[in-house]
Amino acid sequence: MTPAEDVGRPAPDRHRVFVAVPLSPAVREAAAGARAAFAAHADRCRWVSPRQLHLTLAFLGDITTAQMADAVDAARAAAASAAPFLVAFAGVGAFPSLAAPRVLWVGVAAGDDRLAALAGALEAALRARRFAPDPRPFAPHLTLARARGTGRPPDLRRGSEAFGRVTIGEQPVAELIVVKSVLGPSEPVHTVVGTARLGDASRGLEVS
């Protein structure tokens, strides 16, 4: 999403921002271990550091400080109407395809419907605050790596029969985080600028 009113306007206080579900340490570690599925092509990829892994619900692009506060408000509005639930991660794959991958990912095996509902509520709350909707459909995943360079990416179809057998684990989804990302020479620096608890955590987890 991008703020509709500021498209094409230069501004001095721009921040690269996204809204995400934070991952548990166990899921981060297991997801990083899923790199083994792509070991034959490891040198062709730029791997995401385990501490940078997250489940993105909305990427807002470059927004102003005032809009960043609106994004936190939107995350809290969306989270308030949702009860905590469990999500499970399993399987690996690539966008746009295994034959020409640009992004390597870990998939969501359970809880994807609840994530989609939460992402939809977040989009509605953002639109109410004059953010333009993302034209791409929501596809929950953890980004593991991106293909290096501009040449032809590696063909991952060979050996892909094992991709569906990769198991990561599960964790509760109990809060959203709004994150400012500053690009650096090696990896982005992420700073949480706001949090939003889902519903009333005392109600317990809902398993879809």
Q: Please report the pLDDT score of residue 92 as a whole number.
A: 92
CA distances from 148 to 99, 128, 190, 202 (A): 15, 38, 22, 45
Q: Hey, what CATH class is 2-200 in?
A: alpha beta
Every domain of the chain and the residues it spans: 2-200
φ, ψ (nearest 5 deg) of residue 199:
40, -135
C-beta separation of 121 from 81 below 8 A: yes
User: In terms of Cα–Cα distance, which of 190, 174, 180 is closest to 72?
Assistant: 180
pLDDT computed for residue 89 by the predictor: 97
pLDDT at 205: 40
Q: What is the pLDDT of residue 45?
A: 86
pLDDT at position 110 is: 96
> What letters, b where the CB count within 10 A reaches 16 and e where it falls short, cover 29-39?
ebbbebbebbe
Q: What are phi and psi of 184, to 5 degrees?
A: -125, 180
Q: What gap in Å lies between CA 85 and CA 83, rounded to an integer? A: 6
Give the pLDDT of residue 203: 44
pLDDT string in tens for the chain (208-residue length): 655 444 444 356 899 999 999 999 999 999 999 988 888 888 888 899 998 999 999 999 999 999 999 999 999 999 998 999 999 999 998 898 888 889 999 999 999 999 999 999 999 999 999 998 888 899 999 999 888 876 677 788 887 778 888 999 999 999 999 999 988 777 888 999 999 999 854 444 443 3
pTM, two decimal places: 0.84
